[in-house]
Amino acid sequence: MPEGDSIFRAARGLHRALAGRTVSGFESVFPRLTNPLEDRALIGEVIERVEAHGKHLLMWFSGGRVLRTHMRMHGSWHIYRHGERWQRPRHEMRIVVETPEFIAVGFNVPVAELGPAATIAGGEPLRDLGPDPLRDDFDAERAVNRIAERSETEIADALLDQRAIAGIGNVYKSEALFAAAVNPFTIVRELTNEEIAAIVAVAVRFLRANVADSSRGMVTYSGLRRTTGRFDPGARLWVYGRGGKPCRRCGTPIQRARQGPYARSTYWCPACQRRTSDGTP
């Protein structure tokens, strides 16, 4: 599933290509987006902005409506010039937003809704989101408090709870907990607010480092995320995806396990990551 940094980069690329431009065509396989009485109303409207909120991508139109999409596991947005060959087959197309200059195509997007801005912003998916580390209004203290409220939850699962902190997925969950030296199966109540704050700070640092503006223009899908600071593609992450391989710090084999109600993959170093700050196992 794309994490907050991927959605942020996609929104930035779409914004650069589409903001301020007029919609000249709109197409979707979702009947609820193409009501024959309403769909053509988008044509002629100006795309005001495209932005990310957690794992949601929002496209704002001058007529007062917003298109919200969520990528889930396999969705993505691409940008093309007219006549340019698509990188994915047409049968994977779910949404097309066309302007005289560019075409934005949403492939395999499983969740989409188009409606009045107030309805979208006030709807449950966005209303209940926790603070987003990649937004200018990110409130770290509120994120810490929301995580602390999940006192009987394992910390790795608490970080995945989008109502506690938005945008973190399996990769950043595992990477942040490794960098903070916290075992992913630690119950939240066993951690102090200072320890939770340290985890949040690392997650924020990792996420923001991976959305640094590379001046690549309108690209929405590129690059491999890094948390180690190394440019070698084989050394870009500390623990995620490295089950059985030696820890980059101590050499202990990295462990992998399914965790939580959705059996999400978690990676950790049993030697480097303690349950609590005093080393209690």
User: What does the pLDDT look like over 205-244, one tens digit per residue?
Assistant: 999 999 987 656 666 666 678 999 888 888 999 999 999 9
Local structure of residue 108 (DSSP, 8 states) = S
How far is the C-alpha of 13 from the C-alpha of 57, rounded, in Å?
A: 12
Dihedral sign for Cα atoms in the order 65, 119, 123, 114: negative
How far is the C-alpha of 99 from the C-alpha of 127, rounded, in Å?
A: 30
Dihedral sign for Cα atoms in the order 18, 23, 25, 26: positive
- Domains in the chain, ordered, with CATH? 4-127 (3.20.190.10), 140-268 (1.10.8.50)
Q: Within its chain, how far is the Cα of 15 from the centroid?
A: 17
Q: Is 84 in the active site?
A: no
9, 12, 51, 55: which is the annotated catalytic residue?
55
Q: Name the amino acid, one letter, at 10.
A: A
pLDDT of residue 2: 79
Q: Is 190 in the active site?
A: no
Q: Is 55 in the active site?
A: yes
Task: State mean pLDDT over 185-213.
Answer: 95
What's the per-residue H, E or C state across 41-94?
Answer: HHCCCEEEEEEEECCEEEEEECCCEEEEEECCCCCEEEEEECCCCCCCCHHHEE
Task: State mean pLDDT over 185-197.
Answer: 96
How far is the C-alpha of 9 from the C-alpha of 28, rounded, in Å?
A: 23
Say yes or no to pLDDT of 275 above 60: no
pLDDT mean across residues, the chain: 91
* DSSP structure string for 212-261: -----TT--S-----SS---SGGGS-SSTT-TTSBPTTT-PBPEEEEETT
Beta bridge partners of 58: 51, 68
The whole-model pTM stands at: 0.90
pLDDT of residue 274: 74
- % of the chain at pLDDT higher than 90: 81
Count CB atoms within 10 A of the CB of residue 38.
12
Say yes or no to pLDDT of 279 above 60: no
Tokens representing residue 41 in the block: 């109303």
pLDDT of residue 32: 82
By the 8 A CB rule, do 41 and 63 touch? yes
3, 51, 98, 154: which is the annotated catalytic residue?
3
Q: Is 270 in the active site?
A: no
pLDDT-wise least confident of 100-114, 163-177, 223-237, 241-255:
223-237
Tokens representing residue 32 in the block: 């609820």
Backbone φ and ψ of 271, nearest 5°: -85, -35
Distances (CA, A) of 103 to 33, 48, 134, 143: 17, 16, 26, 37
Angle (deg, nearest 10), helices 140-149 and 193-209 = 120
21, 264, 274, 275: which is the annotated catalytic residue?
264
3-class secondary-structure state, position 202: helix
Say yes or no to pLDDT of 280 above 50: no
pLDDT of residue 221: 61
Q: Name the amino acid, one letter, at 241.
A: G
Tokens representing residue 183 in the block: 């075992």
Angle (deg, nearest 10), helices 170-179 and 193-209 = 120
